[in-house]
Amino acid sequence: MAALTKNDPTIRLSRDNMKAYLCLPNPELEGYSQSDVARVLKNSGVSYGIKEDIVQKMIDHQIYNEEVLIAEGVRPEDGVDGYYEYKFDMNFSKKPKVKPDGSVDYWSIKMVEMVTEGQVIAVYHKAIQGKDGMDTKGKPVMAKRGRDLVPLRGKGFERSEDGNTYTSLMDGKIDMSGERIVILPVYEINGNVDLSIGNIDFRGDVIIHGSICSGVMVKATGTVTVDGIVEGASIEAGKDIVLRSGVMGASRASITSRGNISAKFFEYTRVHANGTIQADVFLNCQVSCGESIILDGKKASIIGGEVGAIQSIEVNTLGSDGEVKTAVRIGNSPSVMRRIGVLKNKIQVEKANLAKIEEGLKLLQDMKNDPRRTDLLRVKIRDTALLAGDTAELEKLEDQIERARGGRVRVYGDVYPGVKVEIDELRVVMKEKQRHLEFVKEHNKIHMCALEA
């Protein structure tokens, strides 16, 4: 065969070198051989994934002036990270749903996800390691490695020998925070709580599927959920309280929560929540709330009593035709501002005293057995604790002041005569019936603005 000059085969590589294409120009003399192609492949660096049969077909069938794929690398197969498949639901809503007719469904609230002893709560799927690839130049192409997750941490469950299955050790409530799972016992009562059962004081969550009768006290460090009516009883919870039916307090009931409270209604009840309170009706209640009060049902109303929140109050009807004295308040009372002033002065004095104690200790630093030094150390410990407590209280009250800024009372329906609205140190008393009002504080005065119907 004569030496090829102008009509050498050409090789084109893809950008990632994973594919090589051969083009055979029309030969000036005789055709091509495998060795002609092998030479240009070698010069191009192509050494892997060569399709010898296709090269031979191009030569035999004289496929000229056309690019044909004749070498192909192997793409890497990326690994898959390990993951947990959880067998319980933590994506439920803790807020009641509003029905199409405007009423609020307090049975839709879910506070607790329950598991049973022996129930599989999680299954771990191990990481799948990838497979490296190779380009047409014989260079390895690294695959992404699959990473395994660390074992789940927590308590109330066990891990199987192969490390892949997690099983509950008890009946109880399951909580998940990050990769930590905790299963705790739940005190669940399938009937009424009356004097025959007695008071309840439980470290955890309490679920009562009946009512709570008068004279009973229920305490829990977690949540309290009651399906039936609460009578003249007391409930204290470290977290949220859900009263699906409501409270007929007869001026003896007390409901206190460090979290939020949801209930269908409250009658003649003392209510306090550090968080938000949501209900349909307050009737002659004494209510205080660290955040907002929301009464958003079709018949949502505040009638009688005193209802106060730090941030805002939303209600449909405020007061009644009988002009029952009804007071609502948002913001902070003058006593809060006075307390802030007292704390600031106290903290200033405590800091000055501690500075004097430090000076005294410096003078006595070499007299370790001197009783005066021991007394000063004792006073320092006491005053440091006092300073820390007063500082924490001041920060809490200043945060409360800040959260109250821009607060408002919104009434989407009627506001009746006799209603008193207070914002911080200001107040206004309604003289006539009005509708769709918003009460806001502007320039040391309460303004009543019209809301869109």
Contact 135, 17 (CB under 8 A): yes
* pLDDT for the residue 428: 92
- Distances 439 to 211, 330, 332, 442 between C-alpha atoms, Å: 38, 10, 15, 10
Check residue 6 and give left, alpha or beta (phi > 0: left; psi -120 to 50: alpha): alpha
Task: Quote the tokens at residue 302.
Answer: 């505040």
HSE-up (13 A, CA, CB side) for residue 244: 18
Phi, psi of 114 (to 5 degrees): -100, 145
Encode 2-22: b = buried (16+ Cβ within 10 Å), e = exposed: eebeeeebebebeeebbbbeb
Residues 334-403, CATH architecture: Orthogonal Bundle (1.10)
| Both structure tokens of 434 | 């009005």
CB 173 within 8 A of CB 204: yes
How far apart, in Å, do the first and last CA atoms of the chain sit?
96
CA–CA separation, 365 and 359 (whole Å): 10
Alpha-carbon span 279 to 264, nearest angstrom: 5
Residue type, 230: V
Task: Name the DSSP class of 74.
Answer: B
* Predicted model pTM: 0.64
Other Cβ atoms within 10 Å of 124 Cβ, number: 20
DSSP, res 84: E
Residue pair 114/222 in contact (Cβ under 8 Å)? The answer is no
> Domain residues of the chain, as ranges?
10-72, 83-184, 187-333+406-450, 334-403
Q: 198's torsion region: left (phi>0), alpha (psi -120 to 50) or beta?
A: left
- 8 Å CB contact between 96 and 104: yes
Q: Would you state the pLDDT for residue 2?
A: 39
Asked if 257 and 275 count as a contact pair (C-beta separation under 8 A), the reply is yes
Lookup: tokens for 257: 């929560």
CA 1 to chain centre: 79
User: pLDDT tens per residue, the chain (453 residues)?
Assistant: 334 445 789 999 999 999 999 999 988 777 888 888 999 999 999 999 999 999 999 988 989 999 999 999 999 999 999 999 999 887 766 677 777 776 766 666 666 788 888 999 999 999 999 999 999 999 999 999 999 999 999 999 999 999 999 999 988 888 888 778 998 888 888 899 988 888 888 888 899 999 999 999 999 998 999 999 999 999 999 999 999 999 999 999 999 999 999 999 999 999 999 999 999 999 999 999 999 999 977 789 999 999 999 999 999 999 998 888 999 999 887 788 888 889 989 999 999 888 888 888 887 777 777 788 888 888 889 989 999 998 998 888 888 787 778 789 999 999 999 999 998 888 999 999 999 999 998 888 989 888 875
- Please report which helix (H) or strand (E) contains residue 425, including its range: none
Q: Which helix (H) or strand (E) holds 252?
A: strand 246-257
Length of the chain: 453
Q: How far apart are CA 442 and CA 445, in angstroms?
A: 5
* Rounded Cα–Cα distance for residues 412 and 452 (Å): 8
Sign of CA dihedral 176, 182, 183, 184: negative
Residue 228 in contact with residue 212, Cβ under 8 Å? Answer: yes
- Fill in the amino acid letter for 403: R
Residue 235: its pLDDT value, please? 97
